[in-house]
């Protein structure tokens, strides 16, 4: 009898847990890859604190353009299997204008958005509404070899001309070294790198009124400098026109580059002895200026989570969005992935400062990072900039022609 009672109780427990399990809501979260496990730790922490909601991570492709294509296709087909997704800072106008994403104003209190930096908040705000919860900000930075600059008695360059000069000086004295690299392949990374040159020479794509003003002597000077760095000054590694961010990091990590333009996420990798030979030898500074009367510009990058309009679990997806953008998850990502927090209060967190000491000095650069043009046609505008700039890189066109043609094509696209 007693045995039967124990057995029955056991069966009851199994049944209850199965039925509770069956009621779990599973969110499909289209995300960056798992990488070193930190993203899964964040998900596990969410699940542990939010019983009844499970999160299934679906990995997006590595290249930013391919991520956008995939999300675009899913949303366009009104597919309800994607609940929530990682969105680049430039995507909210694209998806909001199409009506494919859920505005989050009704779900978020003002207090909840209070601690976020202005750049990420600006990026998720469009047509007066909030379209995502930022979980990471990003800004271009100059990585440099502290040891090499010291050895050759050189300062951290303040202008692109100085960077070229110092590169050439060190290249002449060190075997097998090149000067600089960045993400110059034809994809979104190139637009980010290009804009830093263009802005720092005083050029821009649009004026305040939204008119295309890309074709200017300032922009031509910026594109000429980049083109010369490849073809005339010869400070870029061979194949730079095909370099994604990983390709630019590789020679720097193996000690074959003096400078590197990268995002903060490269820091953790540069300081990991398993894949870097420059541990302890890397400094970080603001990117150089074009002309000395300009200022340094970093492209604002970063990511947020956005909720699909076609999700059947919007409330739960917002719960996850809040957690993903919350302090705890952002701290986990800062420590595990060297992701720069989108929340101001985390910049005084001692664990984060210990792991990424540069974030204290670089805080002004993160806060003043400059956004790419905000437009529902952003992807097309960016593509034109990439294609035309690459034509100058491979000397199919002069810098002046490439700039003029990009300007005209963007005007045609927007009917200006
Ligand atoms: C980084 C940035 C993102 C940018 C991308 C380019 O992920 O955070 O904003 O668009 O790089 O590849």
Closest to 150 measured CA to CA, from 288, 283, 296, 270: 283
Ramachandran angles phi, psi of 40, nearest 5°: -70, -35
| The predicted structure's pLDDT at residue 14 | 47
Fold of 2-138+302-367: D-Maltodextrin-Binding Protein; domain 2 (3.40.190)
- Measured between its terminal Cα atoms, the distance across the chain in Å is 86
Do residues 302 and 120 lie in contact, with contact meaning Cβ atoms separated by under 8 Å? yes
Interval between CA 292 and ligand 1 midpoint (Å):
27
Ligand 1 in reach of 189 Cβ (< 6 A): yes
Interval between CA 142 and ligand 1 midpoint (Å):
16
Interval between CA 295 and ligand 1 midpoint (Å):
22
Lowest-pLDDT choice from 47-56, 148-157, 284-293, 381-390: 284-293
Q: Give pLDDT tens digits for 285-296.
A: 999 999 888 899
Interval between CA 13 and ligand 1 midpoint (Å):
48
H-helix or E-strand containing 133?
strand 133-139
CATH 3.40.190.10 domain extents, the chain: 2-138+302-367, 141-297+377-414
What does DSSP assign to residue 379?
H
- Cβ partners under 8 Å of residue 75, min gap 6: 82, 95, 98, 100, 101, 308, 309, 310
Residue 129, phi-psi category: left (phi > 0), alpha (psi -120 to 50), beta (remainder): beta
Lowest-pLDDT choice from 9-23, 106-120, 369-383: 9-23
Q: Please report the atom of ligand 1 found closest to the CA of residue 300.
A: 9
Ligand 1 in reach of 202 Cβ (< 6 A): no
| pLDDT > 90 fraction of the chain, expressed in percent and rounded | 90
Q: What is the pTM of this model?
A: 0.93
> What kind of architecture, by CATH, is found in domain 141-297+377-414?
3-Layer(aba) Sandwich (3.40)
d(CA 285, CA 156): 8
Categorize the per-residue pLDDT at 9 as very low, low, confident or very high, splitting at 50, 70 and 90: low
């Amino acid at each position: 009898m007693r045995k039967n009672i124990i057995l029955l109780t056991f069966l009851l427990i199994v049944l209850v847990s199965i039925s509770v399990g069956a009621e779990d809501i599973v969110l499909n979260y289209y995300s960056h890859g798992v990488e070193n496990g930190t993203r899964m730790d964040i998900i596990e922490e969410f699940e542990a604190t939010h019983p009844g909601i499970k999160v299934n991570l679906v990995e997006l492709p590595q290249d930013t353009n391919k991520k956008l294509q995939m999300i675009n296709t899913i949303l366009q087909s009104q597919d309800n299997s994607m609940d929530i997704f990682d969105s680049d800072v430039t995507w909210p106008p694209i998806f909001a204008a199409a009506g494919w994403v859920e505005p989050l104003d009704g779900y978020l209190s003002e207090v909840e958005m209070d601690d976020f930096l202005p750049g990420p908040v600006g990026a998720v705000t469009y047509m007066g509404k909030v379209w995502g919860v930022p979980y990471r900000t990003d800004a271009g930075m100059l990585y440099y070899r502290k040891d090499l600059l010291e050895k050759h008695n050189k300062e951290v360059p303040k202008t692109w001309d100085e960077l070229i000069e110092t590169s050439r000086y060190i290249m002449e004295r060190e075997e097998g070294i090149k000067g600089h690299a960045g993400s110059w392949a034809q994809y979104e990374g190139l637009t980010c790198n290009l804009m830093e040159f263009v802005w720092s020479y005083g050029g821009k794509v649009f004026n305040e009124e939204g008119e295309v003003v890309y074709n200017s002597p300032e922009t031509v000077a910026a594109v000429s400098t980049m083109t010369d760095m490849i073809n005339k000054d010869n400070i870029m590694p061979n194949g730079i026109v095909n370099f994604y961010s990983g390709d630019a990091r590789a020679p720097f990590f193996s000690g074959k580059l003096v400078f590197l333009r990268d995002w903060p996420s490269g820091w953790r990798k540069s300081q990991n002895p398993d894949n870097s030979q420059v541990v302890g030898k890397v400094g970080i500074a603001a990117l150089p200026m074009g002309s000395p009367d300009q200022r340094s510009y970093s492209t604002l990058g970063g990511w947020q989570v956005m909720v699909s309009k076609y999700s059947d679990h919007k409330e739960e997806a917002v719960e996850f969005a809040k957690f993903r953008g919350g302090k705890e998850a952002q701290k986990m990502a800062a420590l595990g992935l060297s992701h720069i927090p989108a929340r101001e209060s985390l910049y005084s967190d001692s664990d984060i400062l210990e792991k990424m000491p540069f974030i204290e000095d670089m805080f002004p650069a993160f806060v003043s990072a400059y956004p790419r043009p905000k437009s529902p046609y952003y992807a097309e505008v960016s593509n034109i900039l990439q294609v035309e700039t690459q034509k100058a890189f491979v000397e199919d066109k002069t810098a002046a022609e490439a700039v003029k043609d990009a300007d005209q094509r963007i005007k045609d696209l927007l009917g200006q």
